Homo-oligomer: A and B are copies of this chain.
Amino acid sequence: MPRLMNGAELAGEIVERAAKRAASFLEKTGRKPCLATVLVGDDPASVTYVRMKQRRCAGAGVESRHVQLPAATTTAEAVAQVRELSEDPAVDGILVQHPVPAHVDERAVFEAIAPGKDVDGVTMHSFAAMALGEPGFLSCTPGGILRLLDAHGVEIEGKHAVVIGRSPILGKPAALLLLARNATVTVCHSRTADLKAVVRTADIVVAAVGKPEFVRGEWLKPGAAVVDAGYNPGNVGDVDFKSAEPVAGWLTPVPGGVGPTTIAVLLEQTVEAAWEGNSTPR
């Protein structure tokens, strides 16, 4: 039976520390750190995510300001709105909820976020910083994954990590962060010839593919640490928990694994941005 990587508990610890730093910030500056959330359209899942993030903000003494844009918003309008937030000294962090409607150029909207406020780690600058070991904010889910592994003492250096999925905000940054920690890293995806055989060689598996219960226990090397970064409708992850449970050495539950740590890292980085923005121009 695997040991569970408890994301809720870890997230609680991270948020507690962030809340203390948010309180000191309030004491010093007379205002709370502020996260602006931007949602284009009204996708129900996105609405839920944004509300959850706002609730967590409130719980940690972080103000949240929500900008709701209609589904018909143009790229130019969304960019202008985000740019305004980037220039607003009362806003410390900006989160543009992914995905935006198909007619909006998401990359352009992301790039309108000032690097110093990119607390969700979605800009090209943050991506390159993550990849090249330069200072910057992490993409929250990959950042949370590393925290989960570390909190549970899962060794990374010298291990073979297999990341399934290569999205700009999850698979690729997760691979690069694991590489920075001296794992040997393989990135797999829909065109990978024999996925099961590759997964079988992994000491650490990160499933970030967005297919419910896709990764099966039979694919795993016994004892592997399995991180399920999937979050599909009905609270179902990318890993088939039932078949993985008898084989994996470590396993994240869904929900209660990667999800809570993602939001915790977001909060932590927002408070960090507030402190940094308050001491240096941005």
A residues at B contact (CB < 8 Å): 107, 124-125, 127-129, 131-132, 134, 157-160, 166, 168, 172, 175-176, 179, 182, 184-189, 191-193, 198
Contacts and interface: CB of A to CB of B under 8 A. Distances in A.
A132 B184 contact: no
B198 A184 contact: yes
Given A158-B192, A184-B191, 13 more contacts: A107-B132, A124-B124, A124-B128, A124-B134, A125-B128, A131-B131, A175-B187, A179-B189, A184-B186, A184-B187, A184-B188, A185-B187, A186-B187
Nearest to A162: B186
Given A125-B124, A128-B124, A129-B124, A184 B179 contact: no
A159 B193 CA distance: 7
Given A179-B166, A184-B198, A186-B184, A157 B127 contact: no
A72 B157 CA distance: 37
Contacts of A191: 157-158, 182, 184
Nearest to A124: B128
A157 B124 CA distance: 25
5 contacts: A124-B129, A127-B131, A131-B168, A160-B193, A179-B189
